[in-house]
Amino acid sequence: MQINAPVLFGVLPSGKEVYSFFLSNANGLQIELINYGAVMRTCQLPTEDGHSDVVLGFDTLEKYLQSMEMENPPYFGCIVGRYAGRIRQGKVRIGDKEIQLTTNNGGHHLHGGFQSFSRAFWEVDEQTSANELTFRYVCPAGTENYPGELNVQVTYTLTDQNELKIAMRAVSTEDTIINLTQHHYWNLDGHASSVEGQSVFINSKRYLVKDAENIPTGKVQEWSKQPLLESLPHELLTGIDHSFVLEKSTGIQAKLMHPSNGWQMSVYSNQAAGHIFIGCGLPSHLSGKNGQTYHSKSGICFEMQNFPDAPNHAHFPSSYLEKDKMYENNTIFHFEKRTHV
């Protein structure tokens, strides 16, 4: 397939140019990526009369920059790091060292702090295929007080089986902690609609109990609800911001299904948790792509990652990354059109 040439998306205050890059497959599935935050700006599913964009985002670089200055940034479509989720009071121990990370969220450390990967300018490998692109970022040692220079690579691949594969790799020059994820807001009815009525499956029997500040207490509790929510009821649409402990299997870890248009999205991952987030804390009138007004029910995130605050709970899966060892996060979003709805 022909490679579409990159298109200038905007210019950062530093003068660096941000470009849009385009991936497509033989079935008409298309995505647009930008090298600010390694953001996936659009994901276009083919329809009878064109395409339906099923992720939330902005039309301009300026709006992405402005969104990161909000009290509760939405992190639309970006790669999150160095550590996804909250770390209580920004305090961690690595070996025999006490580390005080920056605190950017009510006295706690969230999504990598002020200089998170979501704000980074990413270098891009030369695109040699219409269905794959690799971003690279070198995070300097001491950023947000994290030890070690971290060399990060994120590869987006779009297969002819309608799989969107996101492979994240990282190596540190010192012992450190890491927890990367992606922060795409999905809506199989299109980004201009609501996720109300769409069905969610999570391959989990337990979730992390959190306190009033959304930080895990250390307790892991059995989930009283069935793993399959037949549809997202109104009362859940403003209240899901939870980390679910994924069952250890190679099968589907999560799924989103539309009740009438036939599209479903299955999620596969090698991570320990699936953090499901539905717009809690988003402004009630946020101007998104194509002049659409986003709200708390506009999209749902499936953040495949390790446990938030894992460094402070010995019984949580380790987030420790040894010097010169490879960190890997592999997540696949598989799109299918059901013939019988």
Residue 247 covered by a domain: yes
Neighbours of 3 (CB within 10 A): 15
**What one-letter code names the amino acid at 117?**
F
- Is 235 considered catalytic here? no
How many domains does the structure of the chain reveal? Answer: 1
Kindly name the residue from 242, 258, 275, 303 that is annotated as catalytic.
Answer: 303
Residue 7 covered by a domain: no
- Is 183 considered catalytic here? yes
7/19 Cα distance (integer angstroms)? 5
Write out the DSSP string of 29-49: -EEEEETBTTEEEEEEEEETT
Residue 143 covered by a domain: yes
Residue 11 covered by a domain: no
Domain that holds residue 278: 19-337
* Full pLDDT tens readout for the chain, 341 residues: 889 999 999 999 999 999 999 999 999 999 999 999 999 999 999 998 889 999 999 999 999 999 999 988 999 999 999 999 999 999 999 989 999 999 999 999 999 999 999 999 999 999 999 999 999 999 999 999 999 999 999 999 999 999 999 999 999 999 999 999 999 999 999 999 989 889 888 888 898 999 999 999 999 998 765 544 545 545 555 568 889 999 887 789 999 999 999 999 999 999 999 999 987 667 777 899 999 999 888 999 999 999 999 999 999 999 999 999 999 999 999 999 987 65
Kindly name the residue from 108, 183, 191, 275 that is annotated as catalytic.
Answer: 183
The domain that holds 317 is classified in CATH as 2.70.98.10
Write out the DSSP string of 134-185: EEEEEEPTTGGG--S-EEEEEEEEE-TTSEEEEEEEEEESS-EE-B-EE-PE
